[in-house]
A and B are shown apart, each in its own frame.
Chain A
């Protein structure tokens, strides 16, 4: 089936540094999402993106977070600067439509902030 890829699978950085998480969504999908999952807890919505713009973001999507997808390349989540509480697994997802559509998830990027 359709696959979403995420690079890297693991990232370890020092607090205060910048990090960029990359997502290669399903090729014909139009909607893109980031979710955050802290170990042992439920997955939580961060942000979604359509037509070059953020459609909706949660309170977890702090000012230090930003997303973009320049020229149809990777859909990226940038955190600058990082904080200890940003340690989590970040999942990217994409879908063909917004509401009521199946979202295809990548395998996640495990981010550890020291």
Chain B
């Protein structure tokens, strides 16, 4: 498998708390995509972090990438109820095809 066993998670947090989810990968990647998937919908890209970047921010989201340990994290600051979703990381080996390899995802539930 591309992914480590620690990727399958379900997290339940209170509104206003911070949450961090992690993923690790086993093969080379040029970029890590973080997607969120709302129930009954397709995934939507929220952050894309390239192999030459250690950190990327977008609003309340922060992604990190450590190519030496082949791991990436996504943090949500001051979570809100609308952040409830499944979050996936996906790697792109950089081949011409753009094939994505997805992790198992983390179900994040934000409770008010």
A interface residues, Cβ below 8 angstroms from B: 4, 31, 33, 35, 41-45, 48, 50, 55-56, 58, 91, 93, 95, 97-108
Contact = CB atoms under 8 A, between A and B. Distances in A.
Interface residues of B, number: 27
Interface stretch (B11-19, B61-69, B72-80, B101-109): B101-109
Contacts of A102: 33, 45, 48
A45 B101 contact: yes
Contacts of B99: 33, 45, 48, 56, 58
A105 to B, nearest CB: 3
A101 B98 contact: yes
A48 B103 contact: no
Contacts of B59: none
A42 B48 contact: no
A35 B94 CA distance: 18
Interface of B: 3, 30-31, 33, 35, 40-45, 48, 50, 88, 92, 94-105
A100 B96 contact: no
Contacts of A106: 42
B102 A44 contact: yes
Nearest to A97: B98
26 contacts: A33-B98, A33-B99, A41-B104, A43-B43, A43-B88, A45-B100, A45-B101, A48-B98, A48-B99, A55-B97, A56-B95, A58-B99, A98-B95, A98-B97, A98-B98, A99-B95, A99-B98, A100-B30, A100-B94, A100-B98, A102-B33, A105-B42, A105-B44, A106-B42, A107-B40, A108-B42
A103 B35 CA distance: 10
Contacts of A108: 41-42
Contacts of A45: 99-102
Contacts of B103: 42
Contact of A103 (B30, B41, B100): B100
A4 B41 CA distance: 11
